[in-house]
Amino acid sequence: MSEMNELFYKNPYLASFDAVVTSCETVKKGYEITLSDTCFYPEGGGQPADLGTLNGISVLDVQRKKDDTIVHLTASPFEIGSTVHGEIDWHHRFSLMQNHSGEHIVSGLIHKKFGYDNVGYHMSDVITLDLSGPLTWDELMEIERETNQVIWDNRPINILYPSDAEIEKMDYRSKKELCGTIRLVEIPEADLCACCGTHVYRTGEIGLVKFLSMINYKGGVRIEMVAGDLALKDYDKKLNSNQVIQRLLCLKPDEIADGVKKILDESQKKDLKIAAINKKYNELKIASLPDDREILIDFEDDLNGIELRKFCDSLKNSGKASVCAVFCVSEAYPGNELPPISYCIGSTGPDLKKVSKALNDAFNGRGGGSSEMIQGTFYTDREKLETEFSTVLKEILP
């Protein structure tokens, strides 16, 4: 053990302390400070490091070194021998305690019921839990009910330091990341696990555990869960988003799913109707175009790339001309004198691949395609295309 007093083990609820600076080393990211006492928990056992301040200066990270020393990373140096006042971000720490204790109940109950191990564990805005065997969503929901029952029973969470003789007889869960003396966290009739993290005194403080998702992962499952403060934040976020959807769609709270499905069905019907109208329009438009030209030019409004290509393809297949060029002028936008003009050119005769580059050069554009069809954008004005396109194309055609 280091000589530093690890106050977070003596009292995990202690949020401020005074200590003497015992060393201050310059490192790449700032200064590593060691203290006579600390309630800053160093990252370990799946639990992130505490946040907070020393004399008002932010503690950026807290790590346990190989020799067991706990170092506090700061941006400013501290004088060795001076006294500092430390404060941890209690809200952050308590949330970690709620979530860590919640995870123990979940892992313990799953281990009891299915024999699976917790093989990966990560705490951030959500808790990610990897289990060594498969589960169904219904089985997971049953675990969620049992976990919350343990929470509402308000059972004590006991920290045990068993002797070697005692530990021989004990059946406890153990993860890879063990640090120092064997420290067991016991939640009666739910879990017994070796752990170096900080925990709440009673399960009731966890408040709630909620599973968010489950996917198959490396022969087992990866579960996302939230507890305590994180569960409340998650509830808030989802409620706010539901309320926005409700207001936008004029739905009652329990009608959202059905209401959205109805709107999507209606939207799909509209899409089909629009497609049928477009088809009809294309047929009529193509019929109205002259069929005595070698090169046919047509301007259309408001077509996206796919619609433009479809229209050009129908026009080409109609046999009206051996080269059909369809243009669509984008709305002019501020600061751009020449709005982009999308083009799609189809040919049943000449090889368009051979003229693509020359056309782009002539009308300041880019794009390309096959021998039968090229597509792209010209940055020129409509008038120039109307008056010069046919002449330019004829000159460059092979």
Which of the ranges 14-22, 191-199, 250-258, 299-307 carries the binding residues for Zn ion, by CB under 5 A?
A: 191-199
Task: Tell me the residue nearest to Zn ion as measured from the CB.
Answer: 195
**Over the range 11-37, which residues count as b (16 or more CB within 10 Å of their CB) and which as e?**
ebeebebebebeebeeeeebbbbbbeb
Q: Which stretch binds Zn ion (CB under 5 A): 190-198, 312-320, 331-339, 351-359?
A: 190-198
- Residue among 3, 15, 22 nearest 53 (CA): 15
Supply the minimum distance, in Å, between the C-beta of residue 126 and Zn ion: 17
Q: How far is the CB of 206 from Zn ion (least distance, A)?
A: 13
Closer residue to Zn ion in complex, CB, 12/197: 197
Show contacts with Zn ion in window 208-227 (CB under 5 A): none
What are the beta bridge partners of residue 369? Answer: 374
Alpha carbon 152 to its chain's center: 32
Backbone angles phi, psi at 99, to 5 degrees: -75, -35
When the beta carbons of 105 and 397 are compared against Zn ion, the nearer one is 105
CA distances from 36 to 122, 151, 196 (A): 30, 36, 20
Q: Does 195 help bind Zn ion (rule: CB under 5 A)? A: yes
Cβ proximity to Zn ion: between 41 and 363 the closer is 41
Q: How many residues belong to the site for Zn ion (CB under 5 A)?
A: 2
Residues 195 and 161: beta-carbon distance below 8 Å:
no
Give yes or no for residue 86 binding Zn ion (CB under 5 A).
Answer: no
Paired residues of 195 in beta bridges: none
Rounded-to-integer distance, Cα 396 and Cα 198, Å? 78
Give the largest CA-CA distance in the chain: 102
Q: By C-beta, is 52 or 197 nearer to Zn ion?
A: 197
Closer residue to Zn ion, CB minimum distance, 193 or 352: 193
| Beta carbon of residue 232, minimum distance to Zn ion (angstroms, whole number) | 22
With respect to Zn ion, which residue has the nearer C-beta, 196 or 295?
196
Q: Smaller CB distance to Zn ion: residue 195 or 214?
A: 195
Nearer to Zn ion, 135 or 195 (CB): 195
Beta carbon of residue 104, minimum distance to Zn ion (angstroms, whole number): 6
Q: What residues contact 8, with CB distance under 8 A and at least 6 apart?
A: 14, 38, 39, 40, 41, 50, 198
Question: Of the ranges 36-44, 192-200, 263-271, 356-364, which one interacts with Zn ion (CB under 5 A)?
Answer: 192-200
Q: Give the nearest distance from C-beta 95 to Zn ion in angstroms.
A: 15
Selected range binding Zn ion among 24-32, 51-59, 132-140, 187-195, rule: CB under 5 A: 187-195
**Could you tell me the smallest distance in angstroms from the CB atom of residue 214 to Zn ion?**
21
Q: Does 197 bind Zn ion (CB under 5 A)?
A: yes
Shortest Å distance, C-beta 182 to Zn ion: 13
Q: How far is the CB of 148 from Zn ion (least distance, A)?
A: 19
Q: Which residue, 205 or 298, is less far from Zn ion as judged by CB?
A: 205
Nearest approach in angstroms of CB 240 to Zn ion is 32
The span of 15-23, 194-202, 203-211, 300-308 binding Zn ion (CB under 5 A) equals: 194-202
Q: In the complex, which residues of this chain contact Zn ion (CB under 5 A)?
A: 195, 197
